[in-house]
Structure 1
Amino acid sequence: MSANTRLPLSRIATTLASGACLGGLLVATAAQADRSEWPESFTVGTASQGGTYFVYGSGWANMVADELGISGGGEVTGGPTQNLALVHSGDVAFGLTTMGPAKDAMNGESPLAPGVVMDNVCAMFPMYETPFSITALSDSGITSISEIPDGASIGFGPAGSTSDTYFPAILEELGVNFERRNGGWGDLGGQLQDGLIDVIAFAAGIPIPAVSQLEVQTDVNILEFTEEEQQKIVEAFPVSAFSIPANTYTTLQDDARAVSMWNFAIAGCDLPEDMVYEATRLTMENNDRMREIHRSAAASVPENVDKNQVIPFHPGAARWYKENGYEIDESLIK
């Protein structure tokens, strides 16, 4: 893949009729937006089914499509790393990603496209923090990271995902020796329940649908980091300390110590400014609807816009923040 392979959306999309019917949330500004170059449809790169990205991204796509009068939906992908490449190339209009893979992509260090600086990727809005958490069956006897047996089979999610990119290195840093497995979160949950793998190392917004489903079907242990393990990982990787609230899962009796990485929604930088402005406005001004899509969207608020210091903001998104009193450094606007 190279920058020259980018396919402008204007070549593959037809324009919308100026009198398109808009949904109930839209106000006059949306109706007056310049829609002459808007695509007729859009796709959002999410991740595997059974993970938070798929639920969040598909729900967000449906909301935006309904309110802007455009056909749109979520697409199953390999997760944040692949989403960056898909948005950069124009294969999808929007995507979801995390700060670690984004930094690599901005520096031309994406494992999917070594040497390609992904400069057609722009930030839209903050999503939530992705906790790194580990789940095992209770009857395995594994209650801590140090108890993961030598040579254990560990599922790290889809190949190229945030979990697959960072969690193996995190566990290696903590001295865990393992056999690596990849797959969708739902599929890995089934393998864990069937005894085909020993542990799943999740990097996904909470509550993770696959873990919630496991809790319904069997007894599980959610392994927390010790204070020493947490500090060691924070110093070695682009993550921060995090605590999984006890009310996230029925299994937890107390908050569980973990680490996390921020997620942001991204858009192709060549998407029309008014379209990205309206999509950002809808998201930032309707957090109640976002929380209905997924609980993690409680953090999808404009106050968290400063959590991105890596991806340049799309001019349409930046316009909404500026109009509403949120500062973004000019150097971080495309």
Structure 2
Amino acid sequence: MSFSKFTAIAAASVVSASAVFADDHVDRTGWPESFTVGTASQGGTYFAYGSGWANLVAEELGLTGGGEVTGGPMQNMALVHTGEAQFGMTTMGPAMESLLGTNPIAPGLQMTNACAMFPMYQTPFSVTALSSSGITTIADIPAGAKIGFGPAGSTSDTYFPRMMDELGVDYERRNGGWSDLGGQLQDGLLDVIAFAAGVPVPAVSQLEVQTDVNIIEFTEEEQAKIMAAFPVSEFNIAADTYSTLESDARSVSMWNFSIANCDLPESFVYAVVDTVMSDNERMVNIHRAARSTLPENWDKNKVLDWHPGAARWFIENAGATIPENMIR
């Protein structure tokens, strides 16, 4: 089965190989001469982060590689599963849906040939309303409220409506880009915006400059209820994230993982993981979200089978105790 792909390719590069993986002592049997990393739309964290580590790996391993513009986590699972992209990036929710065969790109197809490679960072779920609305808690959201959930088919649009359903919120669903929804909130066309995106969300930061907003946190009970129902983790939005916040705001987040086609050679994936995980400073220079791209976060994957090359790296270098039945 073939899947349509966006055609833009970002910053492909061919450069000299590193001293570690370009010499004759490394078995390169079966390695591809080039690779692509499925990211998301331009201007987002996925595109910047994914293109960055693709270029880093290409440079270190002496290959041609780059980030590919895609529709995001759901499409990345499909592209990597079929081998149309060697690597990709996904959140745990879309990964779980893809394994169960409920990925909307190919309903019924269990995308089991996409394996976990390394932890990336967390995507927090955050809720914002204008102060003038009087909405300060989730319970304050009035019946029939118009809520903007981000781009159609995004992680935010896939999971935040379900979370609102779980919490008993009655709403009208709206979709759009981050900046567009922020403008609609300010113009009174929306009551609430509910984003799953790296913080600070630029649209929310911009709103703070122009008007008074409320960053709405979950109660402990709401947080626990959402964590029990969805593949998310406890998260606090730090007080210094937004000028509006006076203290940390209770939230939840979904982990992002890089993924690899499970059929790629073990030595190749091991080398890719080593390149990305062995020097966090280089990754943070690519995108500050990479502050969470740390070996100790290997255990945040509770959904996908590990690629054997990735599993070996984390077992050897991070003391990981990955069960054998979680390694492909």
TM bucket (normalised to shorter chain) is 0.7 to 0.9
Matches within 5 A, 1:36-185: 37-185=30-178
CA offset at residue 277 of structure 1?
1.6
TM-score normalised to the size of structure 2?
0.85
Kept after mapping to 1: 8 A contact 2:22/2:62: no
Identity %, equivalent residues:
67
> What amino acid is the match of 2:276?
T
* Paired letter, 2:57: V
Aligned twin of 1:330: 324
C-alpha distance in 2 between matches for 1:185 and 1:106: 29
RMSD: 2.7
Q: Higher mean Cα deviation, 61-70 or 29-38?
A: 29-38
Structure 2: tracts of 5 or more residues without a match: 5-12
CA distance in 1, matches of 2:206, 2:103: 33
| Offset, 1:280 | 0.6
CA distance, structure 1, for counterparts of residue 65 and residue 213 of structure 2:
37
Amino acid paired to 1:21: S
Matched, 1:249 2:242: yes
Structure 1's 283 and 189: CA in aligned 2 closer, same or farther, altered over 3 A? Answer: farther
For the 8 Å contact 2:21–2:61, the answer to whether it is kept is no
Q: 1:193 Cα deviation (Å)?
A: 4.2
Q: Which residue of 2 aligns with 1:11?
A: none
For 1:208, the equivalent position in structure 2 comes to 201
Aligned twin of 2:23 = 31
Deviation at 1:35, TM superposition (A): 4.2
Quote the offset at 1:300 in angstroms: 1.2
CA separation in 1, counterparts of 2:42 and 2:208? Answer: 18
Could you report, residue by residue, the CA deviation over 1:244-263 in whole angstroms, capped at 9, with x for unpaired residues?
Answer: 11122233221001112222
Deviations 1:46-68 (A, max 9, x none): 23445432332233223223333
Which 10-residue stretch deviates more, 100-109 or 42-51? 42-51
1:21 to 16, 24, 28: 16
Which deviates more, 91-100 or 65-74? 65-74
Shift of 1:264: 1.0
C-alpha distance in structure 1 between counterparts of 2:134 and 2:259, whole Å? 41
Kindly state the Cα deviation for residue 128 of structure 1 after the two structures are TM-superposed.
Answer: 2.0
Per-residue Cα deviation, 1:81-110 (whole angstroms, up to 9, x for no partner): 222112112232221112222122222232
* Cα separation, partners in 2 of 1:313 and 1:179, compared to 1, 3 Å: same
**Does residue 264 of structure 1 match 2:287?**
no
Deviates more, 1:146-155 or 1:248-257: 146-155
Matches within 5 A, 1:277-292: 277-292=270-285
Number of residue pairs aligned between Structure 1 and Structure 2 = 318
CA positional deviation for 1:225: 0.7
Matched to 1:331, the amino acid is N
CA gap of 1:31–1:326, structure 2 versus 1, over 3 A, is: farther
Q: Which residue of 2 aligns with 1:10?
A: none
Mapped to 1, the partners of 2:46 and 2:79 lie a distance apart of 15
Shift of 1:126: 0.9
Per-residue CA distance 1:234-278 (angstroms, 9 max, x = gap): 233232322111122233221001112222111111233333222
- Give CA deviations for 1:164-186 in whole Å, capped at 9, x if unaligned: 22110111222222221223334
